[in-house]
Structure 1
Amino acid sequence: MWPPRLRVGPFRRGAFTSRLRSPRLTSQLGLLLAVAFGVCFLTGLLSHLIQHPPSWFWWPSRPVWLYRVTQGLHVATGLAAVPLLAAKLWSVFPKLFAWPPFRDPVHALERLSVLVLASSALFQLVTGVLNIARWYDPMPFGFIAAHYWTAWLAIGSLLVHIAVKLPIVRRALGATPRPTHGDGLSRRGLLAAVGATAAAVTVATVGQTVRPLRDLSVLAPRRPDTGPQGLPVNTSAAAARIVVPVDFRFLLVGPRARHALSLADLAALPQHTVSLPITCVEGWSADARWTGVRVADLLALLGEPGATVLVESLQADSPYRSSTLAPPHARDPLTLLALRLNGEVLHPDHGYPCRLIAPNRPGVLQTKWVSSMTVVSP
């Protein structure tokens, strides 16, 4: 028991009176949260590997909608986890004030693992929501690295927690539910309310990925049809401090040849129009028609079909000022050095004078304001 002088506020006797809390409810909420976190972690890890590929990683160019689905799942399950985590923390809240804080070293380790799990889960969800809203002022650290490493911390502590609590979960789910009395909400009603809240959050945001739901997605920070030429913009030309030289030349560099092509030279090459979605890591995606020169045709000018290509931008200071185009994308006929968008010359905010567009890649790798392509390996 708590010492008498500390029995105030949440520490007082009888501070928590809800009959809805039970091991069964906590287990049910925990299973739902584990599924949401598991899907969110795996799709987030996939996105990180696509953007920062290790030597063993391979990512295809087809189907063109695959990254759109995986990243949409990542954001949707992350947002749905917010009410699930809130309900799960509520269900175990009284245990945070148990006395003594721990009974033995094993119990102390268990309590520490719960603290790590709760802290890392809250960090992931809060920073994820801030990233979706592109509100970085409250984060005095690099979002990408912090979000990635904390994800491993969260999933590791979640697996440990599941292993420790599995016997309790099995007993709780297998036992006959204890009825609740009174005129208030039942446990089933509470689960239904939490599920409905998660569904409402999903419907109110997933329209930025699932086009038929866009009119219902009132909380989505991006509408796929807004912005210049009907596409959203994350970084404008002004924000990126882009200055296009009057005598702009696109540099095409290979081990045996080098070409400096003006916009007129690029326009004189065979032009192709493709319909491809552009998908942002923040969850929104939008379809568009792109017109330009196939990257495979540009590589043919160098005699290097299907090579690995470094694509560089006029943007000076950005972690995404360049991207690497792997062979599956470099040789795909849908991959373009785009000059036009939806039938119009590229707007500066969409990458004028030319930009990369390739199937099944994150938007941050669809390099804008392209200045050069260099073969880095045949």
Structure 2
Amino acid sequence: MRIPTFLPRFRGRSHDPRTVTVVGRLLGLALLVCFLTGVLSHVLQEPPTWAAGRLPTRPVSGYRVTQGLHAISGIAAVPLLLVKLWTVYPRLFSWPPVRSVAHALERGSLAVLVAATLLELFMGLLNTAQWYLWPFSFRQVHWSLAWVITGALLVHLAVKAPLIAAHWRRTPPGTAEPAADGVERRSLLLGLAAAVGAVTVVSAGQSVTPLEGLLLLAPRDPGTGPQGLPVNRTAAAAGITADDLREWRLRVAGPEPYELTLAELRAMPQHRVELPIACVEGWSKSAHWEGVRVKDLLARAGARDGAALRIVSLQRHGGYGVSEMDRAYTRDGLTLLALRLNGAVLSPDHGYPARIIAPNRPGVLQTKWVTRLEVMA
């Protein structure tokens, strides 16, 4: 292998195979957590056929924990990836670029892996700030890139398996590492640990309540917003008008369809629950909600216990104006058509006059400005 002469060369122990292996293990762990929690989030947002009726509503904070881990592991992966690339530089640009079929396979998978991972993390970070610089769907591309990364990583690991195995232990069998070399490697790893710890601590407060006071890098404070909760889409952004709210009725379509005014809805038995709202951007916050149980509304429409539900919003702009609710949620007594938040009537930005709140459910599916509930066959 020859390194082009115009590239700087690094020969220290912080660039040897052992260091590359150690950093790679840490990066792999972060990416694995990020991938698994991302898959879970995707399944909860778009349940596949086999999951019908099997989505868990407990623990009630499950999505808050997993999506918080998703954001935390993704942010932690940024310094890990940068250090990983630094440890293998400039071997990334070795010449000739292809020496054999196996080498071509390794180089190709590596190019795809590096490019896809950089793009995935970059898009994920911008998503936490809801800053979209691209014309395509973030969620679909983010999901697809995750599988591209997984495939490229498996190929890369298969090709590099002998080298990884040889340097997995502290020192290769039959060798003794000079003390100076160990110090150099430890210094790099301590610096990396400090960087990962720092970016984690100053951003994790979006979902880890005890760390809220340390939020520096997170784009939003989960305790800031109308009625003590952030808002992703305001009523104005959703196209909600004063006439919409003035003439509002709740229409329930089922075997025995009916309509309710807001006064009639408030006259029904009210229930109070404490549930978190957790968004795909990584922030979450627990709150007190009051309203009518969805199961009671469906029973009044003559629907069977645990009927699936389609929820329609008044909103005119933005995604998720219509969502579907699995029977595991509709039969759960904690699932409400909420009318009040933290002791006060819902503000327009939080979905006045009525919104959905359910346990262990993504925030984008906690539909606001609900105007129609449709019992599904």
Shorter-chain TM range is over 0.9
**Contact 1:75 1:283 (C-alpha < 8 Å) held by counterparts:** yes
Structure 2 residue aligned with 1:148: 143
Q: Deviations over 1:102-121 (max 9, x none)?
A: 11122111100000010111
Matches of residues 40-79 of structure 1 in structure 2 within 5 Å?
A: 40-57=34-51, 58-79=54-75
**Contact 2:353 2:369 (C-alpha < 8 Å) held by counterparts:** yes
TM-score (norm 1): 0.94
Residue 140 of structure 1: how far off its partner (Å) = 3.1
Amino acid at match of 1:252: V
**Contact 1:242 1:314 (C-alpha < 8 Å) held by counterparts:** yes
Of 32, 53, 64, the match for 2:26: 32
Structure 2 residue aligned with 1:159: 154
Structure 2 residue aligned with 1:225: 223
Of 144, 165, 172, the match for 1:170: 165
Amino acid at match of 2:273: V
Structure 2 residue aligned with 1:288: 287
**Contact 1:24 1:177 (C-alpha < 8 Å) held by counterparts:** no
Quote the sequence identity (%): 53
Secondary structure at the aligned position of 2:192 is classed as helix
Matches of residues 268-287 of structure 1 in structure 2 within 5 Å?
A: 268-287=267-286
Matches of residues 286-325 of structure 1 in structure 2 within 5 Å?
A: 286-304=285-303, 305-325=305-325
**Contact 1:32 1:84 (C-alpha < 8 Å) held by counterparts:** yes
Q: In 2, distance between residues paired with 1:152 and 1:32?
A: 20
**Contact 1:19 1:180 (C-alpha < 8 Å) held by counterparts:** no
Query: How much is the aligned-residue C-alpha RMSD, in angstroms?
Result: 1.7
**Contact 2:41 2:67 (C-alpha < 8 Å) held by counterparts:** yes
**Contact 1:208 1:222 (C-alpha < 8 Å) held by counterparts:** yes
- Structure 2 unmatched ranges of 5 or more: none
Amino acid at match of 1:211: T
**Contact 1:292 1:339 (C-alpha < 8 Å) held by counterparts:** yes
TM-score (norm 2): 0.94
Q: In 1, distance between residues paired with 2:125 and 2:372?
A: 35
Relative distance call for 1:334 and 1:185 in structure 2 (3 A) is: same
Q: Deviations over 1:221-248 (max 9, x none)?
A: 1212100000000110011111224221
Q: Deviations over 1:273-332 (max 9, x none)?
A: 111110011111111111111001101101212110001100124331111111111011
Residue 22 of structure 1: how far off its partner (Å) = 0.3
Relative distance call for 1:245 and 1:346 in structure 2 (3 A) is: closer
Structure 2 residue aligned with 1:343: 343
Secondary structure at the aligned position of 2:288 is classed as strand
Amino acid at match of 1:321: G
**Contact 1:180 1:187 (C-alpha < 8 Å) held by counterparts:** no
**Contact 1:278 1:363 (C-alpha < 8 Å) held by counterparts:** yes
Q: In 1, distance between residues paired with 2:122 and 2:183?
A: 29
Q: In 2, distance between residues paired with 1:69 and 1:329?
A: 19
Q: In 1, distance between residues paired with 2:215 and 2:50?
A: 38
Structure 2 residue aligned with 1:116: 112
